[in-house]
Structure 1
Amino acid sequence: MLKLYIFDELFNHNFLFSLMKIKILFAFILAVTLSAQTNSNKDIVTTRFLNGNIKTYGEFVNGVKDGIYQEYYESGNIWKDWNFVDGLEQGTSLWYFEDGTISMRWNYVHGKLEGKSQWYYESGELWSEPVYKNGVQEGFTKTYYKTGELQGIWNYNNGKLNGLSKIFYKDGAIEVERNYKNGKMNGVTKVYYEYKQVALEANYVEDKLDGTSYLYYPDGSIKVIDTYSKGQVTKREKYDYGSRTAKVEESFIEFYGNGFIKSEQNFKNGNLDGSNRYYYDNGFLKSEISYNNGILNGFSENYSEYGILAESIEYIGGKRFGYSNKYNEDGILTMESKYTNDTLHGKWISYFPSGQVEQELEYSHGKIIGVTKTFYSNGNLKSKLEYSNGLKDGYATWYFSNGEVSDYGNYKDNLPNGSFYSYYPNGLIKREAIYEMDKLISETLYNENGEKILLK
C-alpha cells in the first residue's frame, strides 16, 4: 500500500508539473502570437554612417513615426532618444553628450513641449530648468552653477523674455537685474558688487543703451556718467575717486572684436560734430562724414571695402548742396552731379571707365531741361533729345556709331507727335511715320534698296 501511495503521489506530482509546463508554454506561445499580431504593421527603419554604425533607428506605422526613434553619434553612442505616437513626440525625450552623459531631458504632450525640462553641464550637473506650456517657453526658467547654487531666474512670456530677470552670486546675492520687453532689454539694468552695492545703473531701449548710465565706486560715489543715444555714447564724464569735478570726454573710438578700429566719433552737446570716421572690419576706411551740431555739413566721402573712394557728397545744413561724385571700383569718376537744397540742379554727367563722357543732362530743380546727349565709347554722338520741365519736348535724334542718323522725330509732353523717320546704315529711308500725341496716324516701311514694302 505504501508503494502504491508513493507511486500515486509521484504520478500526481509529475502530472501536475507537466500540466503546469504545458500551461506556461501555451501562455508563452499565446503572448508571442499576440505580440506578433500587435506589431505586424510596425516597420523598423535604420540609417547608417559610412563607417557602418547606426545613424538613426525608428519604429514606423504606415510610414509615420510610432514608438522609439533614436539618433546616434558617428561613434555609435546614442545622441537623442524619442518616443512618438502617430507621428508626434510623446513623453520623455533624452539627449546625450557623446560620452553618454545626459545633455537634456524634455517632456512632450501631443508633439509639443510641456512642463519642466532639464539641461545639464557636460560633467553631469544640472544647468537649467526651462518651463514650457503648449510648446512655448513660459514662466520662470532657472539656471544653476555647477556646484548647485541658483545662478539666474529668467522670466518668459509667450516664448520671450519679459519683465524682471535676475542673476545671482553663489552666495545668493543679486549680481544683475535686467528688465525685458518682448525679448529685448527695455528699462533699467542694474549690476551689483558682491556686497550688494550698486556698481552700474543703465537704461535700455530696444536692446540699446539710451539715456544716462552711472558707474559707481565700491563706496557708492560716482565714477563715470555716460550719455547714450540709440546705443552710441555721446558724452562721458569721469570722476577721480573723491573728486566732484568731472573730466568730460566727447570723442570716442570704438573697436571690432579683431582689434581694428570700427569708428572715431566726435560729439558736442550730445550731437555729432566735426569729422567722424567709420571703418570696415579689415581696417580700411568706410566713410568720413562731417557734422555741425548733429547736422551734416561739409564733404562726406564713402569708400569701397578696400579703401578706394566710391562717392563724395557736399552738404550744407543737412542737405546736399554743390557737387556729388561717384567712382568705380578702380577709383575712376563715373558720375558727377550738382545739387541745390537737396535737389538735382545743374549739370549731370556720366562717364565711361575710359573717362569719355557717356551722358550729359541739365537739371533745374530736379527736372531735366534743355538738350540731353548720350555718346558712344568712341566719343561719337549717340542721341540728342530736347526736354522741358522733365519731359521730352521738341526734336529727338539718334545716331549710328559712325555718326550717321538712325532715327529722327518730334515729341510733345513726352509723347511722339509729328513726323518720325528711321534710316538704314547705308543712309536710305527705312520707315516714315506720323504720330498725333502717341497715336499712329500713318506708316510707310522701306527695304534696304529704298523700295516701299508696307503702307498703312
Structure 2
Amino acid sequence: MGRLSVDSWSQETGAEGNVSSAASAKLAADATKATMDDPHERSNAKECIMRRTMNATAWALLGCVALCSPAQAATGDVELIQERYPNASIKIEREVTQDDEGNYVNHGYWKHLDENGTMLAEGQYVSNQRDGVWSRWYRGNESNLFRSAPFNQFKPPFVSTASFKAGELHGVWGIHDANQRIIMEVSFVEGDRHGPANFYNVDGAKLQEANYVNGLLDGEVLEYPRGAKQPSRSMFIKGRELAPKVDQEKNGRKKSEGVYLYAPLVAKTRDSWWDAKLAEYAPQGEDERHGKWITYYPNGQIQVEGEYEFDVPVGKFIWWYSNGQKAIQGSYVAGKEDGRWLWWHENGLKKTDGRYKNGVQVGHWMSWMPNGRVASSQDYPAVVEEGLSDIDEPPMIVITDEEGEPIEEEKSDVVTKEPKQVELEAKELDEPLMLHPQEASLPILNPLPRR
C-alpha cells in the first residue's frame, strides 16, 4: 500500500518519495503550531506532537510523506492535499482517498489556517463525513450569532467545539470565549437536539436551561433574568408549551380561563455548526385545551367548568345557570359521556337522572317537571357491546300527565349520542325534555377562544 504526496511536499523533501529529517521536524513543528495557536488545544499538544512526529517518521521509513492513522491506512491509499494562499502559506491541508467509484473524498485529518498560519478549524473525516471532535475558531464577525446576546457580552475570539458521527452533530456542541468562559452547551443525537441545552452569562451563571427530546423541547425550561431572585419557569411536552390563558372582553370582563397546550415549536432550520447558526423554531399546528377550563357568564357567574386532555373532555363537568344554580353534572371518558348524569331545573328540583356507557344511554332514566312530578320513565339496555353505536330496537319514551297516566306513546329515533327531543303538553313543563347533555339549554362544550 502506497501513500502519495502532492503540491510542494515533494519540493520540501528534495526528491519525491524521500523524506529528510528536516521534513519530519517540520511536520512536528506544524503539529505544535496547530495545537498551540489556541489555548483550548494546549492540553492536547503533547499528545498531538508525539502522534504526528511518530507517524511522520514511520512513513519516512516507507518512503512516503504525510500522516496517516492505522484506521485510515487500512482503507487504502491516502493522499495529503495542500491548498495555499498567494503568499505560499498553507490554507487547507487535508487527507483524501478514493471511494469505490474512484472519486476523491475527504478521509482523515483536515485543517484550515489563515494566511498567518493561525488555526481556523480542524477535525477528522471518515468517507467524506465529519466524524469525532471538530473545532473552529471565530474572530466574532463571521456570524450574527456572536453579535447577539449573550454572545456579544463575551470576549472574542470564540472557539466552537462539537462531536460528529457520520456527518451529523452527535454529542455536545460547546462555545467558549477567549477567556475560556463557557457560553453555551447543547446536546445532540444524530443531528437533532437531544438532552440538556444550557446558555450562560459572562459571570458563569446560567442564563437558560432546557431539555430536548428528538429535536423538541420537553420538560421544564428555566430562565434566569438578571436581578431576579427566582427563575421564570415554562413547561413543555413534546415541543408544546403548557401554559395558562385568560380570555377577556374589551371591557376587561373575564370570558374564560384555562390551560392550553400550544402548537408544537418545530425547527424551521437545523443547527449549523460550521456556520455558527442556531436552529430557528416556529409554531406548527393547532393549540389545544389541556387541563382545567372555566367559562363565565357576562355577569361573572361560572357557566361551565371541566377538564380537557388534548382538546378532548375528560372527567367531571358542571354547567350552571346564570343565577348560580347548578344545571348539569356528568363525566367524560375519552370524550364520551360515561357514568351518571344529572340535570336540574332552575328552581333547584331535579330534571333528569340517567347513566351513560361509552356515550350511549343505559339503564333506567327518569325525568321530572319543575313542580316535581314525574315526566318520564325509561329503561335502556344495560349492556352495550364494545363499539356499538346504535340500538336495534329504539326504546319507548313514556310521557305521563298530572295523574300519572300516559299522554302518548311513540318510539324515538334511533338512540345515538343525540336522542329525540319530545315536547310535553303538560303546562308545568315549558321547555323540551332533555335526555342528553347536548340538548341542554346551556352551551355544551362550547368552542373556547384560542390564542
Q: Using structure 2 for the length normalisation, give the TM-score.
A: 0.31
Larger RCO (alpha carbons 8 Å, 6+ apart): 2
Q: Is the strand fraction higher in 1 or 2?
A: 1
Specify the structure having the higher radius of gyration (Cα). 1
